[in-house]
Amino acid sequence: MENILITICARGGSKGIPGKNIKDLNGRPVIDYSIQHAVMFAKLHDNVDIALSTDSEEIKKVAESCGLSSEYTRPDFLANDTVGKIDVLDHILSYEEEQRQKKYDILLDLDVSSPMRTIDDLQQAYKIFTQNKEALNIFSVSKPHKNPYFNVVELKEDGFCKLVKQSDSKSRQAAPVVYDMNASFYIYRKAFFDQKLRSAITNKSLLFLMDHICFDIDEPIDFDMMEFLLSANKLDFEI
């Protein structure tokens, strides 16, 4: 039976939205949505542990009030906005294995700033992932608003623009299918970290397409939109 570690990573000092990870979202701290998803998933599987990675004592206190306590403190060299998420995950994974004296086969990371997921999303993605023994990871995606083969451009060195991906497509519908990574969750095999990979996109990566709206809180307007959708009961699913 596989051992699963669920990680919830919440750095203090958000610049875009101060205190974002513990800001009240429709009556609950943002981090609480991911904590409760982790708890629900753990109830459906054996051998699951939940770990918090944060550099903030305030976030620790809020997380504890939501049911997740932690003795771990993210070190300073992993607590700035230039550090990649994979390095953070690798560190907390090693710490939990040492502290708990056990090895984990799978790591499920729930992104605090992208909580518009369901337990069914997690269950379906986990099933798809575990059925494909070659896959190193799987991550959540959404249908895109733009397509790099049709209406996403970049600047050339001469100052003029070009399509990001060259294509003869005459309509968005005829363009190759692409997806937006919505950052809501990632599931990794331990082999991903053993191979010292540094990008979530590998030649053995799977995707899970959510059939509902999902976006991450990056700017204040994102927070306002999510607050409205939740408070006005505009979602056709429950998070």
- Residue 135 token pair: 């896959």
Domains in the chain (CATH in brackets) are: 4-142+179-231 (3.90.550.10), 144-177 (no CATH)
The pTM is what? 0.95
Which of 59, 81, 83, 85 has its CA nearest to residue 72?
59
- Mean pLDDT confidence for 49-60: 97
Comparison of pLDDT for 168 and 119, the residue scoring more: 119
- Mean pLDDT confidence for 119-135: 98
Q: What is the pLDDT of residue 207?
A: 98
The b-or-e profile of 81-108 (16+ CB within 10 A means b, else e) is: eeeebbebbbbbbebbbeeeeeebebbb
Q: What is the pLDDT of residue 14?
A: 77
pLDDT digits (tens, 9 = 90+) for 172-184: 889 999 999 999 9
pLDDT tier, 196 (very low <50, low <70, confident <90, very high otherwise): very high
Q: What is the pLDDT of residue 172?
A: 83
Question: Which amino acid belongs to residue 63?
Answer: A
- Residue 139 token pair: 């991550």
Considering the chain, what is the average pLDDT of its residues?
A: 96
- Residue 233 token pair: 């009961």
pLDDT over 90 at 108, yes or no: yes
pLDDT tier, 199 (very low <50, low <70, confident <90, very high otherwise): very high
Residue 220 CA from chain centroid, whole number = 19
118/139 Cα distance (integer angstroms): 14
pLDDT over 80 at 128, yes or no: yes
